[in-house]
Amino acid sequence: MRLRGTYYKEWSAHYGGDEASFHVELLPGCDVYRGHFPARPICPGVCHIGMLKECMEEAVGVKLAIDTIKQCRMTAVASPEFCSELDIRMHIQ
């Protein structure tokens, strides 16, 4: 499932060399929030990981697959209601 355009909107992207940065807006009208606390929408971690994957695919210019995630912990609750815009910075190895 493609998340760009439904879960988030990309406002800007800058990449080259081993760095990439994106400015995105979380879209509160996304269907994912109907089943994930509709009264107080919270961004599902799996959608955040998918968004990061899509941004990385754009930066490197190839389709990617996530093979394994040993551990993933979101350190704060994300919600389009409280913080709708995000800055993403990536280091490409």
Cβ atoms within 10 A of the Cβ of 25, count?
Answer: 13
Q: Which of 35, 14, 32 is nearest to 24 (CA)?
A: 14
Q: Would you say residue 9 has pLDDT above 90?
A: yes
The single-letter DSSP state of residue 31 is G
Q: Would you say residue 55 has pLDDT above 90?
A: yes
Judged by average pLDDT, the poorest of 5-9, 23-27, 55-59, 79-83 is 79-83
Q: How far apart are CA 38 and CA 5, in angstroms?
A: 19
Instruction: Specify the CATH number of the domain 8-91.
Output: 3.10.129.10
Domain assignments of the chain as residue spans, ordered by start: 8-91
